[in-house]
Structure 1
Amino acid sequence: MGDFNYLHITGVNDLPGYHAAAAFTTKSSEVFKEAEEISPRHVSDRVSYMPWGADDQMPYDIINLIESDETLSTCQMFNAEVCYGSGLVYQTDEWCKRKVVNEVEEFFLDNDMASYFLGVCQDFKHFGFAVSVIILNEQGNKVVRVLRKEACYVRFAPANKEGVIPQVLYANWRNSVRAEQVEVIPLLNPQSPWTDLQAQVKKGKRKFAVVSRVPTPDSTYYPIPYYASLFKGKWYNIKQLIGVAKEAKLKNSAPIKYHIEIAKSFWSNIFKAEGITDRVKQQERVNEEKDNIINFLTGMENSGKVLFSEFYVSPNGEEQHDVVINKIETDKEGGDWATDIIEAVNMMCFTMRVHSNLVGSVPGKSQTNNSGSDKRELYTIAQALQKPYHDLLFNVHRLIIRFNRWEGAYPDCPFIQLTTLDENRDAKAVSVNPKSDEQ
């Protein structure tokens, strides 16, 4: 059933006998829903992990939803680039020994720090946590490598009785994996990584994972990102539906008459009940059920009848249906969707904490097109808000510097300050570290 997520379910189907069409979509609100109890899964007799979501596919569902919308994917990349700032550096004080300076430079030459730091910034913005791996030399007295482990391929082992997660498991969880395909990495205690690192080194270990995590109110194994409300609300679906409606209008001048939202579990339950495991036959069954729904909507013999759909009531009292059919008003012409698109884009940018003008989503001369000074201030504010994320991401680098005994060195991420023309340059790097400001 792992291939089910890639079946072509979203689309537009013509309504027989009508100059209209029906749009099928998967409910985006279900991406963060835990449909069943989450319990550890075993990859061997001694190794287990906590699944990420009920089907362990939540990160890939999130990525798919983000990549399906140009505004959302652009906002995510913008947030990662702003968090990256002017890049990660290890600053050194003036009194720092030349040996330390040389060792720091050699460390950066042996590690692709630009790629690493941009990667962990993207993980932070997508999933609310990032995983770094530090590797010691054979003697165990120097950290020689720092690597990023993509968060979507990371799973946490169950916490021990003290509430500490002892390991992370790294593998391609998109598909079923065997025990030999899983990399098990000891995880330093997030509450006291420095003490734990020294203790683990004495046991002869040379490779460790360090988790940088954004604190969230729910405190689960995998944090729920701040933008989850975008999928749980309606604006993501509204923007997607506008795009589908305009495409159908341009292709055959047929407006969208019905919007049909189908839960992922609806198809899974059909496949399970009918014993369909072949991917091709699954797609054929999906198309057959689409035709059944369309025939129900358009057939004369069904006039006045009701389509029954299984549902349950969530803890907050909302009914969760397998199939929801929304009738769309067809008196709106395609050109009149422009204001709705702008509204949907602005709501998405608001949720992603990105001003629309900074990513060019509201082009042209309009009331929302700010002056250059306003945009510079917005960009400065956006970078200033990255301070807590930098503090969290710097924890692993403070460990490296302390363990390698690089006295006088400290991690820093200068932000880019856009300047005015009277300074004869477009931008300059400004350190947010007080030590750098004194120099």
Structure 2
Amino acid sequence: MSDKVLIEGDVAYLAGAKMTVFMESDEAVRPTQRSSSPKVKDTNSSEEIAPWGENNDFPQQVIEAAEKNTEIASLIDFKVRATYARGVYPCQITGYDKNGNEVLAPVNDPEIRTFMCKSNLNRYLLEALVDFYWFFNVFPQIIKNVKGDKIVQIAVQEASYSRWSKMNEKGICPNVYVNAQFGKGAKASDKETLKFTAIDPYDFDRVENFKESTDKSAIYPISYPTPGKSFYQIVHWHGFIASEWYAVTAAIPKFKVALMKHQVAIGYHIRIPASFWPIYAKLMGKDWNNLTMEERKALKKQKLDEMNKFLTNVENAGKAFMSEYATSASGEKMHGWEIIPIEDKLKEGAYIEDSQEASAHLMRAMGLDATLVGAGPGRNMGAGSGSDKRIAFNIYVALLQPYRDVILEPLNFISDYNGWTERIEGLTWRFREAKLETLDKGQGTAVEQIN
């Protein structure tokens, strides 16, 4: 028969077309073994979770330390907003231009649009970016519909509340536990603790395995790799907290407060020679030598009160002060009243340079150019020219791609699971970015899609 089709293994023969077909086996692209991590020695056999920090409270320690600093949270917020830009959108790679850049076309698909709206995708982006820049660990939760054939929602379980389960014999962490009291004595076995299956991002069949799973939701964990960390990554700026520079930033405000609280507000020191008091007593009709200690003290207080009123009354502002001095028989000047200005350390701005240096170390740890956010606390608050800012911002945005790829990874997984990538060729997700332009081009910004 002309329409007869013969199949033998990976080879088929189409009799009508007189054509042989070789079908590449799925095994040809399947890895020989599953990726895994070296198993970490179990130092706490009584608990099901892998502790985050020695006392399982590392995130809480980081948050507490950051809350005592005036810059950390604000700098992280800048990084979050710069990466978020104008949000994400689904698009289609339709080809490449002559420079090898992708040509992207927005995808206006009803099912994808419904997913973005119903799952509040913008909220996922913000929460994921916040956890990402605070901890380099994000725990997105993806949720199936009732039938289980579609993923209809994505949310984020807060990283500071999330903990990995211990590695199994294959070096894989199969679960994620969530409890807001982790770090405060909570355990995996507590009834308040939520337990989620963790999707292995390195699993070749992760989409198919999740489809076959009875789990209605799971955690698709994402992180930015740092060396030597099997469970929890370390953000680069965490090194600032562990360094003595953080101690410097904490000590300087305490010193300033103590200085302001305990330093007597003295502008001048007045020195009065002992020889003045017998003369003053005589002017007051008294004999200094016959006065008791209490009477001498009262006489001094009388003069000092008179002096204080003269110097402090508002009506006396700008008045001149006159004093006399005596000379000896030889014509030499004898000691009289002496007014000495006192150096004010607060007006000098004590430790401003140290504060600025500590701030510079923090911005370097954050990976931020001071041009973008200002030079830090102190007298010189300049942050460069407009051109410097524009160039620094565009460079910063150009280097965000690895971070954005991490954030978009769960969305690409959802696209595969829901069959969108099969239905829409070249489907992908991209951030919509505003690139700063020079004013001579007629506009301040130009909207671009950054890969």
The answer to whether the superposition gives a TM-score over 0.5 is yes
Which one of the candidate residues 327, 332, 348 is aligned to 2:362? 348
Tell me the alpha carbon deviations over residues 385-407 of structure 1, each in whole angstroms, 9 at most, x when there is no partner. Answer: 21111112221111111111222
Structure with the greater relative contact order (CA < 8 A, sep ≥ 6): 1 or 2?
Answer: 1
Q: Which is worse superposed, 131-140 or 406-415?
A: 406-415
1:175 matched residue in structure 2: 184
1:140 matched residue in structure 2: 148
1:419 corresponds to 2:434: no
Counterparts of 1:14-413 in structure 2 under 5 Å?
38-42=43-47, 48-92=48-92, 101-172=109-180, 173-177=182-186, 179-192=190-203, 195-253=205-263, 333-334=345-346, 335-362=349-376, 369-406=383-420, 407-408=424-425, 409-413=427-431
Q: CA deviation at 1:77?
A: 1.4
Q: CA deviation at 1:56?
A: 1.0
Q: CA deviation at 1:128?
A: 1.1
Cα separation, 2, equivalents of 1:80 and 1:350: 17
Tell me the alpha carbon deviations over residues 257-281 of structure 1, each in whole angstroms, 9 at most, x when there is no partner. Answer: xxxxxxxxxxxxxxxxxxxxxxxxx
Cα separation, 2, equivalents of 1:157 and 1:254: 58
CA contact (8 A) 1:159 1:165 kept: yes
Q: CA deviation at 1:94?
A: 7.6
Q: Secondary structure at the match of 2:221?
A: strand
- Look up the equivalent residue of 1:393 and give its one-letter code: I
Cα separation, 1, equivalents of 2:362 and 2:384: 18
CA contact (8 A) 2:88 2:429 kept: yes
Cα separation, 1, equivalents of 2:111 and 2:429: 14
CA contact (8 A) 1:248 1:254 kept: no
Q: Which is worse superposed, 165-174 or 75-84?
A: 75-84
Cα separation, 1, equivalents of 2:168 and 2:400: 33
- Look up the equivalent residue of 2:129 and give its one-letter code: C
Cα separation, 1, equivalents of 2:366 and 2:438: 27
Q: Which has the higher helix share?
A: 1
CA contact (8 A) 1:38 1:53 kept: no
Tell me the alpha carbon deviations over residues 87-122 of structure 1, each in whole angstroms, 9 at most, x when there is no partner. Answer: 122224689999971111111110121121111111
- Look up the equivalent residue of 1:50 and give its one-letter code: A
- Look up the equivalent residue of 1:81 and give its one-letter code: R
CA contact (8 A) 1:363 1:369 kept: no
CA contact (8 A) 1:156 1:169 kept: yes
Please list every run of 5 or more consecutive structure 2 residues that lacks an aligned counterpart in the other structure.
1-41, 96-103, 266-342
Cα separation, 1, equivalents of 2:434 and 2:43: 43
Cα separation, 2, equivalents of 1:97 and 1:225: 35
Cα separation, 2, equivalents of 1:38 and 1:389: 32
CA contact (8 A) 2:57 2:184 kept: no
Q: Evaluate the alpha carbon distance shift between residue 111 and residue 40 of structure 1 in structure 2; reply closer, same or farther with a 3 A threshold.
A: farther
Q: Secondary structure at the match of 1:414?
A: strand
Q: CA deviation at 1:362?
A: 3.9
Q: Secondary structure at the match of 1:181?
A: coil
CA contact (8 A) 1:85 1:414 kept: yes
Q: CA deviation at 1:431?
A: 1.1
Q: Larger radius of gyration, structure 1 or 2?
A: 2
Q: Evaluate the alpha carbon distance shift between residue 52 and residue 367 of structure 1 in structure 2; reply closer, same or farther with a 3 A threshold.
A: closer
Q: CA deviation at 1:235?
A: 1.0
Identity across matched positions, percent: 23
Q: Evaluate the alpha carbon distance shift between residue 381 and residue 40 of structure 1 in structure 2; reply closer, same or farther with a 3 A threshold.
A: farther
1:45 matched residue in structure 2: none
Please identify runs of 4+ aligned residues in structure 1 that moved more than 3 A: 92-100, 174-178, 361-369
Cα RMSD (Å) of the superposition? 2.9
Cα separation, 2, equivalents of 1:403 and 1:225: 31
1:432 matched residue in structure 2: 450
Cα separation, 2, equivalents of 1:425 and 1:114: 27
- Look up the equivalent residue of 1:57 and give its one-letter code: D
TM-score by length of structure 2 reads 0.65
Q: Which is worse superposed, 210-219 or 365-374?
A: 365-374
Tell me the alpha carbon deviations over residues 106-154 of structure 1, each in whole angstroms, 9 at most, x when there is no partner. Answer: 1111012112111111111111111111111121211101111111110
